[in-house]
Amino acid sequence: MSRRRPEFQTLDLASWPTIAWPELGTAGRSRVQRHIDAIERYAKDEPVGSIEAATGVNRRQLYRLLDRALSLHADGRLYGFRALVAHARVTEYTRMLPVTMCGERGGAVGALSLLFECYPRLAAWLVLQIRQRRVTLKQIPSNDGIRIRLHGLRALHERFLQECRQLGLTAADYPFNTAGRAIRSLSSRVKAELLRGFGMVAAAAGASHLKGLPRSDDVPAPAATRPYQVVEFDGHRLDVRLKVVVRDPLGFEHEFEIERVWLLVIIDVCTRVVIGYHLALTREYSRYDVIKTIENALEPRPLRAFTIPGLACQGQDGFASQRLPELAYVSWECIRLDNAKANLAGETLAALCEFVGCVVSAGPKHSPDERPYIERFFGTIASRLSSRLPGYTGSHPRDLRRALAAPKGDLRLYVSLDELDELITYSIASYHGTPHGGSNGATPLEAMEFFVRGRGQLLAWLPEVRRRTLCLMQTARHCRVRGYLALGVRPHINLFGVRYTNMVLASSAQLIGQSLRVYINADDLRCVRAFHR
């Protein structure tokens, strides 16, 4: 049995980036050639003892070189043979200790990165400022690389300090305990973020469109290699007219028509599984709808009985949390979303960064190429569901399908909200049981089961205390407890003109006059959750 480390069992040296070693000096060329020879011998399963004798590279040095070569480069590839160059840095400096009071210079290396690690919301805020072009730049001609000069850095630095104060940082904390208040570190961070991609830095320089991208037939590298590593979120407007039926307290039904329905979805990039969705009946979806979608993605989805005749899921259909119960309350590492106001609201970022504990990657609005997987899913929903419903409005005013699906005043042909919810549930469940080209012909549920149970991928679950309080992601409303002792009126709160109480509140006379934090459920306002502290 081989005693080699698992990550070194199979080495694909053909895919490793190479270096122009003949251009190195004599000593550097000889050193790199010995290291390349040692790694190639190791990849051919040659014993380590013979490798040491033939190349002069001891086993500890060999394993260290392999660790460096398998590190991930900023360009998305492995370092490969580039890590064999002398003094090549393959990892960033990680600071462990907080910054104490220091002099005019020095003593704060890596402090800004440590600050962003402690406060992910601050890092997301900086990326948002860069994407909103709060800082522009000018390229300065240089022969030794790209030299850029930032414009608007002072104003950005002032807003950065304000954000730090809102997080509770004092004068004794970094960046306030340094002479320049981290303006140089902030400048370096902004430049590094801008230079991560050509599109972002070109837009900051004033470019309206990009040119010169070479054509290639190469298949891009996958965006995620395991479930819940990267998920994508977006909202899709369903091109369909709805008949909403509302029952009043007397039991009479009232029908009215609505022409704007949003489908909000969170999809897993690796397996293409829809882990959560939500329907919003508003002109534009809000931050409450985004947070509701996050709640639905975390909670296990119960089995649903369909009321539409002939609508039933097959054995291979369903949802991930139904097939794999261990996926209930699993949190994700990174979420991609566009730059819509509802997505980047303070409550939304707090729910994602602080409650769920993930990284937010905000892309520009109206850029479907930034989130290709969820856009492809919305195309599937449009072709398989929306365009086949009565009352379909079409993709444009002259769409022929708009005239064919027009009910011509017959409201009975409109699909109701409950029917649409059932159809959406059935469509997503059947999508999960349909072979997908992105998974080499496997269904999304089969791909999820293969990674979770076949490979035993490690998952991160939401803590137990947070599972019972998912409502805390929403914004609280403060309501004062009312009660009138002389009239015998028990304690209660008034919310939206309606009186709310329960057995505990109605029996707690000491709460009269005090304020409660109330969290509502937009789907069912008959009950709310209230917290005293």
Averaged over 140-147, what is the pLDDT? 67
Q: What percent of the chain has pLDDT over 70?
A: 83
pLDDT for 96: 67
Tokens representing residue 394 in the block: 């079409």
Residue 219 has pLDDT above 50, yes or no: no
Name the average pLDDT for the chain. Answer: 81
State mean pLDDT over 414-419. 75
- Would you say residue 415 has pLDDT above 80? no
Segment 407-435 shows an average pLDDT of 79
Burial 379-399 (b: 16+ CB within 10 A, else e): eebbeebbbebbbbbbeeeee
Per-residue model confidence (pLDDT) at position 1: 37
Answer yes or no: CATH 3.30.420.10 is held by domain 230-469: yes
For the segment 425-437, the average pLDDT, to the nearest whole number, is 91
Q: Please give the C-alpha separations between residue 315 and each of 429, 438, 439, 505, in angstroms, as whole numbers.
A: 10, 22, 20, 47
Model pTM?
Answer: 0.57
Please check whether residue 459 is in contact with residue 330, taking contact to mean a CB–CB distance below 8 angstroms. yes
What percent of the chain stands above pLDDT 90?
17
Contact 333, 228 (CB under 8 A): yes
Domain borders along the chain are 6-84, 111-204, 230-469, 476-531
Q: Average the pLDDT over each of 53-62, 206-215, 343-352 and give the range with the smallest value.
A: 206-215
467-479: pLDDT as tens digits: 877 887 888 889 9
What pLDDT score does 217 carry? 42
Would the CA dihedral through 174, 175, 180, 182 be positive or negative? positive
Q: Are 505 and 492 in contact (CB under 8 A)?
A: yes
- What does the pLDDT read at residue 270? 92
| C-alpha dist (Å) from residue 482 to 475, 491, 514 | 22, 5, 8
Q: What is the mean pLDDT of residues 286-294?
A: 91
- The pLDDT tens digits for 348-382 are 898 898 889 899 988 766 666 678 899 899 988 88
> Stretch 271-285: mean pLDDT, rounded?
91
Which pLDDT band holds residue 215 (cuts at 50, 70, 90)? Answer: very low
Checking if the pLDDT of 35 tops 70, the result is yes
**CA distance linking residue 129 with residue 156, whole number of Å:** 8
79 CB-side CA count, 13 A: 16
* Residue 157, pLDDT above cutoff 80: yes
Going by the DSSP 8-state scheme, the letter that residue 209 receives in this structure is S
Average pLDDT rounded to a whole number, residues 424-450: 90
> Do 509 and 485 contact (CB within 8 A), yes or no?
yes
Residue 69 reports pLDDT greater than 60: yes
pLDDT tens per residue, range 472-516: 788 888 999 998 888 888 899 998 888 999 888 888 888 888 899
Residue 212 has pLDDT above 60, yes or no: no
- The alpha-helical segments, DSSP class H, found in 132-182 are 153-166
Q: What average pLDDT does this structure show over 248-271?
A: 83
Which position has the higher pLDDT, 298 or 118? 298
For 182, counting Cβ atoms within 10 Å of its Cβ (0-12 exposed, 13-18 middle, 19+ buried), the class is buried
**Cβ(502)–Cβ(532) under 8 Å?**
no
